[in-house]
Structure 1
């Protein structure tokens, strides 16, 4: 079954409903957003003479929700223009429109009877075969559809999006007893490919997978803290954050972000629906949470929760809640040997082992809150999910853990940790003990690049299935597919005649090692491959060039060295562009400065939807000099339909984008800003981007690829430069930029316009590269530029001097 969902309806325009609609619209699905009809007029509506019968009033809730989408931060829309793909409506006038859609998503209040009544209405208006799903966080799918017909039940399932839907990778799909198994498979594939989600199949149990395990973990943390006493809110967060491979929000900042009322509701859903008394006791809402909800100390939504931000004598400060006195007090930074050692350790596995092997109170706290979560996760295999892999994925994708429970168990040593648990009187599930008794030492193993995990039923390893669209560079390297490499990059064989150039330097910053490997890769691909992909699977694609190296050379006044570095960067990108084989770049997340310049020579860019793309060199007092200015000037020239056409409007836009160091808020926004071309593509699922780039290379090769010929660039010259600089001078006179900003802007204008030549002059690409390099070198000698570079390295943000 191959699904084609072109139109959807979302019922419920609250925070989740409207943002699910935004995500659907973001991937090109036209969406109808419905809500109830208001019972009263607003003052504004009454002032306009409207009545309750007017469509503007009747559709108000949905229409207002769509307007809010453009104001919410972080932005739920990839591009504000995508809001036009959402049509507002109401549940009285537009239910008949459900017969025109392919998918209906119910996102109303978490109340079983309300949902059951709504599903009966949907059943009356949908056409046979229409998919219907509920975005519930824990209510039974089977109970919801109990009163509906067999055909409806066959096409009904749970689709639990995590908040915010655009950014949270996890989507739990929960089939009902009667849901068509082929539909489940098709929906999983559709949601992975089109919506870009990480999908896990959950069983119809209270809170499904991620919220079941995650809520349990948060509650046992709070109970351990209160049981042993003496731990502050900030101490618990110091232990349960990055030191344990968890997000910086850790425990209590997470609760504040989620909202304590929401958390209590989720926890209570398990409490009300499980029968095991021990489990029930854990999910019984602690008194401190009850008191805080009564006081409306619900977290960020009410301005105070476990933390309170207030203005003091020294500016804003964040206070933490003393749970014993229920008063807010200044935070005390936790200090302990195990915390410091874990912070210094490299990688999540080493951090965990280091933290747990300590002998202080923080190490003890970490062990006491980790061990029940591991045991609980093992107890729930078979009940909430059939595989440990889906539990691990749910926690990584839904709660942003670096490692899921079973991956964590492997990391800290399965047999050793179980022995310690039993010595402390804990009951470990029999299947775990049987697995260890059979001689196994981990739940997962890797063999020749293939990943295997325990299959509970057979007590055997079973290969972990991976969609063909998911290419793992790490596993390819385990299969000895590295063609060549050095400390900064590797060329990896993707199969079918395509090679992938992977960056793996610190932060994927571009230095001499990456440039050298790029040059070697061009020669290797020219001789032996059909084409090349430039991609990696680091946290970010590339944060730019190696600023530390540049600053050191500038401070030592090694101008020839800097000139050589920039010349090497430029010549490398020029070789990539002139390669006689197709090159496709696949950036993801942060792709800044030199990272963008590494993508610009490619025949095509296939960007992840979450790509934050920008030439940001002015932030460190420089201008793009790895071919970025040249490529924009070339695009401007190519955009002209005839020699008399005006370059200036295009250049003005580029000058503003680069001069203000604008960074896209998404891959789609990178197109709006002009960083990506019309021929470049955006893919929703970052895990699929290398596969899509490989397919693009093969497609170009099959269609008789011809290398890009060098062409002359028509430039705006001194007249265009004067217009650009005049705009910058106006910004300075208005107080919007500093004198140093103006200096940088003038040099940027000089390069983009092609220097002091007559308007319309045809120049070579090398001429433009020389202009870039000269401007870059002169700025490197400026003390204020060096101060900007130093500030970025030490503070991680731009200095405006």
Structure 2
């Protein structure tokens, strides 16, 4: 029977070890962080303590909240190793030297509690080598847990177990990683580089070498080896700059030593004097002076430059010019791989061999194609795994290209020649196995995906912006389908329809989607178009309709649960403020950002935030504290950088749930909704005691002070004044209660006043064109 992991030790407070400790703390689990005692150190815990200090200052933040940081207990190996006896999981994350690791394991074995799990974060040393010569009691509890950097944000965790590892130990660690840490666990064979780094390093090395061989511009190479294949827009050279040029020789070296001479990896290794020179002179990427790309700051300028692979000199960065990608080219991958130009030759020379190499890794590195695809999607941020890419190209076509280039065809690829690697049968997604049959893709217990539901059913209702799905047990799911899940009339209409449908026939409503972001807010493009043609009446109708529908959500006689992930901004945030409960993915970035584009939250955001701060029993009472707090948050367009931080800012309530694993979000939200059904009562309407004109005057004075310091622009003052009027109750006497309905009216009035100003329209246009706010 597997055990529960309640306390963790991480030994090694370097970048990875400290990052792993921070993420364990993000899960609400106490973690002991240990490192060596530096010679002559007055503070024996200095290395671990400084690591935590760095984590608190790092951006992007390794901690999801300051509260999480308090769960990390710094110590040292000499004084605190005995404390690991209280830990259920001990993670070793020290330097990649076998002798040092084995010496540490002997100390761990003497100090740990029998049956506790011990793992290494290694990515280069086989498990068999790590445990060689160690007692059977240690080998039984030992495994490899390979995290990817940064541990908070990278979802992949590769787990390697040995022939003697207790299956219950593996199951306990895998479940902890999945449910508590939010990782997608991929089980790997004990082979060099495991899966992601084995294939990813092959791909990177091949892509760099072929770009040099073809004399390509790095911008052109990155354009080909980026979006057409669903790879990160950094491409290859931008990605290497991000991870560090100096890291690549270490990974390549370990694979060179470990892989047999017959492995195709060795054919990718080429000495590139330019790269060696860049590393030796500090051009190691973004963490150094620059890399293949750099920002030249000489003479006070900020000039983006790219290196010339032929000469080694920097030149101004240019827009990629790849003929094969012009006019929508690159969407047909076979056409791109077959194109005779430089871009086509580059794509073919890299990807045909990379995809063939992926096919070689089953069953050597993994038991099935699903593991390979998961590893590359989550470890290297590929939108599609290699076998999914082969299906887009066509296995038979890929075989043609391999044969034409004189390359061997791997048996697995030959097996799939006339069949896809993935198919849907009776509403169930299946994958091709090594014996030529198909097997169902089985989700772990507690995982529910809308993508799977869509294979088996039709929507209850649908329009161009949203759809309603029956997700079972009397629960309906409202899915946004508009671009970036921006909110428009179609979504408001579908939300109103959902409320009526659930009231008549179902138990509860969940608002959820599987896009990158829950919602970026209202569709600014439509709003700008309407204003430019003078259709302000239509804008006001949409504002009023949104307000009414959100109020209907708030006072619905059944549970409405929102399940955000990614960005939930503006109107997307306002949905969260009106539902009966929220089950948020831990990586939810929530905020009311309307002031940044020159308007106000007008779908009830101001009113709901006032209500939350007024209701907090720990917050100071009186007419001014709550409006002041909301003014501070909304006027600065503050965005919570995690679901945990969103609770601190009251975008989420204390009782709202947080799900660490994105794949478990819908199931958790559905369970929360069902748990609320019996005896559900909507909230009662509220009234506020607000400060009125005197409170507005105080807020205006504060903004004027910021303006004098250059921190607020001319239009910031206009927007802030409109916001202050809403939050202080307009001209109402603070002695008399102000109903929430009046604050909603003030929201609408303030929004319409601002949307008619040229400065606000300029802000909206600028954001739509550049993606950045205009400081006017």
Specify if TM > 0.5.
yes
357 and 707 in structure 1: CA distance in 2 versus 1, 3 angstrom threshold: farther
Q: Determine if the alignment matches structure 1 residue 365 to structure 2 residue 351.
A: no
Q: Which one is further off, 327-336 or 508-517? A: 327-336
Partner of 2:615: 638
Which residue of 230, 235, 238 corresponds with 1:253?
238
Q: Is the 8 A contact 1:123 1:148 kept in 2?
A: no
Q: Determine if the alignment matches structure 1 residue 699 to structure 2 residue 685.
A: no
Partner of 2:17: 17
Deviation at residue 423 of structure 1 after TM alignment? 3.0
- Distance in 2 separating the partners of 1:508 and 1:352: 27
- Distance in 1 separating the partners of 2:60 and 2:165: 35
- TM-score with structure 2 setting the length: 0.97
The correspondence of residues 175-574 of structure 1 with structure 2, limited to 5 A, is 175-227=161-213, 229-279=214-264, 281-282=266-267, 284=269, 286-288=271-273, 289-312=275-298, 315-342=301-328, 350=331, 352-353=333-334, 355-436=336-417, 440-456=418-434, 458-574=435-551
753 and 118 in structure 1: CA distance in 2 versus 1, 3 angstrom threshold: same
Deviation at residue 296 of structure 1 after TM alignment? 4.0
342 and 391 in structure 1: CA distance in 2 versus 1, 3 angstrom threshold: farther
SS in 1 for 2:416: helix
Deviation at residue 290 of structure 1 after TM alignment? 3.8
The correspondence of residues 165-184 of structure 1 with structure 2, limited to 5 A, is 165-184=151-170
SS in 1 for 2:397: helix
- Distance in 2 separating the partners of 1:716 and 1:590: 33
279 and 242 in structure 1: CA distance in 2 versus 1, 3 angstrom threshold: same
SS in 2 for 1:94: helix
Which residue of 563, 581, 585 corresponds with 2:558?
581
Which residue of 160, 166, 191 corresponds with 2:146?
160
Partner of 2:37: 37
Partner of 2:710: 735
Partner of 1:761: 736
Deviation at residue 327 of structure 1 after TM alignment? 2.3
SS in 1 for 2:297: strand
- Distance in 1 separating the partners of 2:230 and 2:72: 38
Deviation at residue 640 of structure 1 after TM alignment? 5.8
641 and 470 in structure 1: CA distance in 2 versus 1, 3 angstrom threshold: closer
Partner of 2:89: 103
Deviation at residue 190 of structure 1 after TM alignment? 1.9
Residues paired across the two proteins, number? 775
564 and 373 in structure 1: CA distance in 2 versus 1, 3 angstrom threshold: same
SS in 2 for 1:381: helix
Partner of 1:649: 625
- Distance in 1 separating the partners of 2:307 and 2:253: 23
Q: Which one is further off, 605-614 or 75-84? A: 75-84
705 and 374 in structure 1: CA distance in 2 versus 1, 3 angstrom threshold: same
Task: Name structure 1 gaps, 5 residues minimum.
Answer: 41-51
- Distance in 2 separating the partners of 1:230 and 1:734: 51
**1:558-602 C-alpha deviation (Å, 9 max, x unpaired):** 222121110011011011112111000011111100001122111
Q: Is the 8 A contact 2:610 2:626 kept in 1?
A: no
SS in 2 for 1:21: helix
Q: Which one is further off, 303-312 or 20-29? A: 303-312
Structure 1 runs (4+) deviating above 6 angstroms are none
Q: Determine if the alignment matches structure 1 residue 791 to structure 2 residue 766.
A: yes
36 and 641 in structure 1: CA distance in 2 versus 1, 3 angstrom threshold: closer
- Distance in 2 separating the partners of 1:566 and 1:603: 22
Q: Which one is further off, 416-425 or 788-797? A: 416-425
Partner of 2:44: 58
- Distance in 2 separating the partners of 1:281 and 1:455: 28
- Distance in 2 separating the partners of 1:467 and 1:450: 15
Deviation at residue 508 of structure 1 after TM alignment? 0.6
Deviation at residue 280 of structure 1 after TM alignment? 5.2
Which residue of 748, 751, 774 corresponds with 2:726?
751
Q: Is the 8 A contact 1:18 1:69 kept in 2?
A: yes
Deviation at residue 412 of structure 1 after TM alignment? 1.0
Partner of 1:782: 757
Deviation at residue 740 of structure 1 after TM alignment? 1.3
Q: Is the 8 A contact 2:210 2:350 kept in 1?
A: yes
- Distance in 1 separating the partners of 2:555 and 2:524: 27
Q: Determine if the alignment matches structure 1 residue 773 to structure 2 residue 759.
A: no
SS in 2 for 1:132: strand
Deviation at residue 634 of structure 1 after TM alignment? 2.1
**1:633-691 C-alpha deviation (Å, 9 max, x unpaired):** 2223433699x932422322211110000011111111112211111122111221111
Q: Is the 8 A contact 1:633 1:715 kept in 2?
A: no
Q: Is the 8 A contact 1:717 1:761 kept in 2?
A: no
- Distance in 1 separating the partners of 2:527 and 2:322: 37
- Distance in 2 separating the partners of 1:641 and 1:401: 46
- TM-score with structure 1 setting the length: 0.94
- Distance in 1 separating the partners of 2:170 and 2:535: 62
Q: Is the 8 A contact 2:204 2:236 kept in 1?
A: yes
The correspondence of residues 14-163 of structure 1 with structure 2, limited to 5 A, is 14-40=14-40, 52=41, 54=42, 57-163=43-149
**1:587-625 C-alpha deviation (Å, 9 max, x unpaired):** 111110000112211111111111111000011100100
Q: Is the 8 A contact 1:636 1:647 kept in 2?
A: no
- Distance in 1 separating the partners of 2:725 and 2:315: 55
Partner of 1:597: 574
738 and 435 in structure 1: CA distance in 2 versus 1, 3 angstrom threshold: closer
- Distance in 2 separating the partners of 1:639 and 1:332: 54
72 and 285 in structure 1: CA distance in 2 versus 1, 3 angstrom threshold: farther
Q: Is the 8 A contact 1:246 1:400 kept in 2?
A: yes
**1:510-541 C-alpha deviation (Å, 9 max, x unpaired):** 00000000000000000111100011111111
Deviation at residue 316 of structure 1 after TM alignment? 1.4
SS in 1 for 2:641: coil
- Distance in 2 separating the partners of 1:314 and 1:83: 38
Q: Is the 8 A contact 2:21 2:33 kept in 1?
A: yes
Deviation at residue 427 of structure 1 after TM alignment? 1.0
Partner of 1:679: 655
SS in 2 for 1:251: helix
SS in 2 for 1:302: coil
150 and 712 in structure 1: CA distance in 2 versus 1, 3 angstrom threshold: same
SS in 2 for 1:431: helix
- Distance in 2 separating the partners of 1:796 and 1:21: 35
Deviation at residue 137 of structure 1 after TM alignment? 1.2
> RMSD of the alignment, in Å?
1.9
Partner of 1:722: 697
- Distance in 1 separating the partners of 2:672 and 2:89: 30
- Distance in 1 separating the partners of 2:427 and 2:334: 25
351 and 770 in structure 1: CA distance in 2 versus 1, 3 angstrom threshold: farther
- Distance in 2 separating the partners of 1:414 and 1:16: 38
**1:181-235 C-alpha deviation (Å, 9 max, x unpaired):** 23223322221111001110011111110000000011111222233x3212222
**1:41-76 C-alpha deviation (Å, 9 max, x unpaired):** xxxxxxxxxxx4x4xx21111111111111111111
SS in 2 for 1:58: coil
Deviation at residue 285 of structure 1 after TM alignment? 5.3
